[in-house]
């Protein structure tokens, strides 16, 4: 009998695992279980809407989903609709591809006041993630501080600097376009605990800031070192040289009052949120990098802002019975093995780093391990799983349903935009059902 494989999570790592199982000719069926009606995880709800370069990867995942041995079960949340223990009793192998969707937040004095968000929440808000639609009702501030010196912080700063015309060409939901474009926002502060040489920004994403219509990046020339340390590896040296060159091009802003500005604040250690009920500012301590660690110098500066977004990392949301390595935000595993018939891939396996393509090797490795460790299928698998869902009244979304939802989103796109995303789960389900009802009516009419 074929192996029955359940993959929990329809993000990049889940799809790369399914693809590798099929490509390697493993005799198996694959059921992909996803808590949202839509597949693709952070590709849909993470990657910045103004970076729509994922068509190729989505096409290859669509091919995986079209394989006759594959079935998609969207709108099924493991832990809510079925437990992990139950799944492990139904399938020969269960693969956790659940990502690391929760925010790690820095611990700051007075960080309970209103107006502090994590990157997962804020990015979820501007990408139309069903859980973050109502995160806030306005960006009523001239200043936003973004904590973090990686590409996610840069995505957030850039998106906040974009104009209505720029954002309207993307699939960003209308509410987010309106709020960003019509806000009185002037200053976006990107705070890094370390210096410019330590920033993890990628070159092209940094350079892109020079092309924004009504926003300019700003760096104080005095913070840029004249000389590079001599202990850098050749690759670190190349990156440092490239980033320094780009930062140098940010040192002569026009200061045009019609433009927003993205200020890079280096050696700025966030200490305390200012404000009684709402954020009114952030206090930072001036620091230096000492043996690779940021160390405070005891001098402080306050930055006025009404919103703080912490882009300092992500962590896995634990599922019952799954061991977690809390300080790395990932599932405890040995080379991808968590327990008997339980494996893990992607961000949940490695922690929250790496691009979409970084998950491919994980999927391929997991497929080889599955082929090696499990030879023939013994568990009841798909039909029994469907029986469980039906008995519990779970309305799952099939791949055909998703295609209907996808087509409706594309058909509903405003001029210039690639799609209009449905924001709520209910909207997605009713788009899928509308098509089902139409089909039923047509059959009746024919009958």
Ligand X SMILES: Cc1cc2nc3c(=O)[nH]c(=O)nc-3n(C[C@H](O)[C@H](O)[C@H](O)COP(=O)(O)OP(=O)(O)OC[C@H]3O[C@@H](n4cnc5c(N)ncnc54)[C@H](O)[C@@H]3O)c2cc1C
Q: How far is the CB of 64 from ligand X (least distance, A)?
A: 13
The single residue among 3, 4, 7, 9 that binds ligand X, judged by CB under 6 A, is 9
Q: Does residue 359 belong to the site contacting ligand X (CB under 6 A)?
A: yes
Closest CA to 155 of 315, 277, 311, 365: 311
Closest CA to 306 of 185, 156, 153, 125: 185
Q: Does residue 315 belong to the site contacting ligand X (CB under 6 A)?
A: no
Rounded CA separation 144/185 (Å) = 8
Burial 307-330 (b: 16+ CB within 10 A, else e): bbbbbbbbbbeebeebebeeebbb
Closest CA to 192 of 239, 128, 145: 145
- Joined tokens for residue 395: 């309305």
* Residue range at the interface with ligand X (CB under 6 A); choices 30-38, 324-332, 333-341, 386-394: 30-38
Q: Does residue 32 belong to the site contacting ligand X (CB under 6 A)?
A: no
Q: How far is the CB of 17 from ligand X (least distance, A)?
A: 9
Site for ligand X in 113-142 (CB under 6 A): 123
Q: How far is the CB of 184 from ligand X (least distance, A)?
A: 25
Contact criterion met (CB below 8 Å) for 370 and 21: yes
Q: Does residue 74 belong to the site contacting ligand X (CB under 6 A)?
A: no
Q: How far is the CB of 129 from ligand X (least distance, A)?
A: 9
Q: What are phi and psi of 443, to 5 degrees?
A: -60, -40
Closest CA to 121 of 314, 327, 375: 314
- Joined tokens for residue 354: 């790496």
Interhelix angle 358-373/12-23, rounded to 10 degrees, is 50
Instruction: Give the count of residues interacting with ligand X (CB under 6 A).
Output: 35
Q: Does residue 310 belong to the site contacting ligand X (CB under 6 A)?
A: no
Q: Does residue 346 belong to the site contacting ligand X (CB under 6 A)?
A: yes
Q: Does residue 60 belong to the site contacting ligand X (CB under 6 A)?
A: no
- Helices within 260-380 (DSSP H only): 347-350, 358-373
Q: Does residue 380 belong to the site contacting ligand X (CB under 6 A)?
A: no
Closest CA to 135 of 143, 124, 149: 124
Q: Does residue 11 belong to the site contacting ligand X (CB under 6 A)?
A: yes
Q: Does residue 347 belong to the site contacting ligand X (CB under 6 A)?
A: yes
Q: Does residue 365 belong to the site contacting ligand X (CB under 6 A)?
A: no
Alpha-carbon 154 to chain mean position? 14
- Helices within 46-201 (DSSP H only): 55-66, 84-90, 119-126, 151-161, 164-168, 174-182
> What CA–CA distances, in Å, run from 53 to 122, 135, 209?
21, 27, 18
Q: What are phi and psi of 233, to 5 degrees?
A: -70, 160
Q: Does residue 338 belong to the site contacting ligand X (CB under 6 A)?
A: no
The single residue among 87, 98, 224, 425 that binds ligand X, judged by CB under 6 A, is 98
**Residue sitting closest to ligand X (CB):** 11
- Joined tokens for residue 39: 């597949």
* Residue range at the interface with ligand X (CB under 6 A); choices 8-16, 105-113, 192-200, 232-240: 8-16
* Residue range at the interface with ligand X (CB under 6 A); choices 46-54, 87-95, 166-174, 400-408: 46-54
Site for ligand X in 387-446 (CB under 6 A): none
Calculate the CA dihedral of residues 403, 408, 414, 416 and round it to 10 degrees.
30
Q: How far is the CB of 431 from ligand X (least distance, A)?
A: 18
**63 vs 301, which CB is nearer to ligand X?**
63
Rounded CA separation 384/390 (Å) = 10
Rounded CA separation 329/313 (Å) = 9
Q: Does residue 312 belong to the site contacting ligand X (CB under 6 A)?
A: no
* Residue range at the interface with ligand X (CB under 6 A); choices 187-195, 265-273, 302-310, 356-364: 356-364
The single residue among 3, 6, 7, 12 that binds ligand X, judged by CB under 6 A, is 12
* Residue range at the interface with ligand X (CB under 6 A); choices 98-106, 167-175, 186-194, 265-273: 98-106
Interhelix angle 151-161/119-126, rounded to 10 degrees, is 40
**44 vs 287, which CB is nearer to ligand X?**
44
Site for ligand X in 151-210 (CB under 6 A): 152, 155
* Residue range at the interface with ligand X (CB under 6 A); choices 91-99, 190-198, 287-295, 334-342: 91-99
Q: Which residues here bind ligand X, judged by CB under 6 A? A: 8-14, 33-36, 41-42, 46-47, 51, 77-79, 97-99, 101, 123, 152, 155, 319, 346-348, 354-356, 358-359
């Amino acid at each position: 009998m074929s192996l029955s494989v359940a993959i929990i999570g329809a993000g990049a790592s889940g799809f790369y695992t399914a693809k590798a199982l099929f490509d390697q000719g493993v005799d198996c069926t694959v059921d992909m279980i996803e808590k949202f009606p839509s597949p693709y995880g952070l590709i849909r709800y993470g990657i910045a809407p103004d970076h729509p370069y994922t068509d190729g990867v989505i096409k290859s995942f669509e091919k995986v989903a079209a394989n006759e041995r594959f079935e998609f079960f969207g709108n099924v949340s493991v832990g809510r609709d079925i437990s992990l223990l139950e799944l492990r009793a139904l399938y020969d192998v269960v693969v956790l591809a659940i990502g690391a969707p929760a925010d790690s937040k820095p611990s700051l004095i007075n960080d309970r006041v209103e107006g502090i968000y994590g990157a997962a929440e804020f990015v979820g808000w501007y990408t139309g993630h069903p859980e973050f639609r109502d995160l806030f009702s306005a960006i009523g501030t001239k200043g936003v501080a973004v904590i973090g010196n990686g590409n996610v912080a840069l995505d957030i700063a850039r998106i906040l600097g974009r104009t209505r015309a720029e954002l309207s060409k993307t699939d960003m939901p209308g509410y987010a376009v309106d709020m960003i474009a019509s806000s009185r926002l002037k200053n976006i502060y990107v705070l890094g605990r370390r210096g410019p040489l330590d920033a993890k920004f990628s070159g092209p994403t940094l350079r892109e800031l020079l092309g924004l219509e009504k926003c300019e990046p700003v760096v104080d020339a005095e913070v840029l070192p004249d000389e590079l340390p001599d202990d850098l590896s050749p690759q670190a040296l190349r990156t440092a040289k490239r980033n320094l060159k780009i930062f140098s091009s940010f040192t002569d802003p026009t200061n045009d009052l019609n433009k927003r500005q993205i200020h890079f604040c280096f050696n700025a250690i966030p200490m305390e949120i200012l404000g009684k009920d709402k954020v009114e500012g952030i206090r930072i301590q001036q620091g230096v990098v000492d043996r690779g660690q940021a160390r405070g110098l005891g001098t402080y500066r306050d930055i006025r802002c009404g919103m703080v977004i912490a882009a300092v990392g992500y962590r896995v949301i634990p599922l019952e019975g799954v061991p977690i390595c809390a300080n790395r935000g990932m599932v405890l595993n040995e080379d991808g093995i968590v327990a008997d018939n339980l494996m893990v891939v992607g961000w949940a396996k490695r922690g929250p780093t790496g691009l979409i393509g970084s998950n491919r090797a994980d999927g391929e490795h997991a497929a080889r391990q599955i082929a090696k460790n499990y030879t023939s299928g013994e568990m009841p698998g798909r039909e029994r799983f469907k029986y469980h869902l039906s008995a519990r009244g779970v309305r799952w979304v099939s791949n055909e349903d998703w295609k209907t939802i996808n087509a409706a989103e594309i058909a509903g796109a405003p001029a210039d935009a690639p799609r209009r995303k449905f924001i709520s789960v209910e909207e997605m389900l009713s788009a899928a059902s509308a098509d089902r009802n139409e089909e039923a009516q047509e059959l009746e009419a024919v009958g």
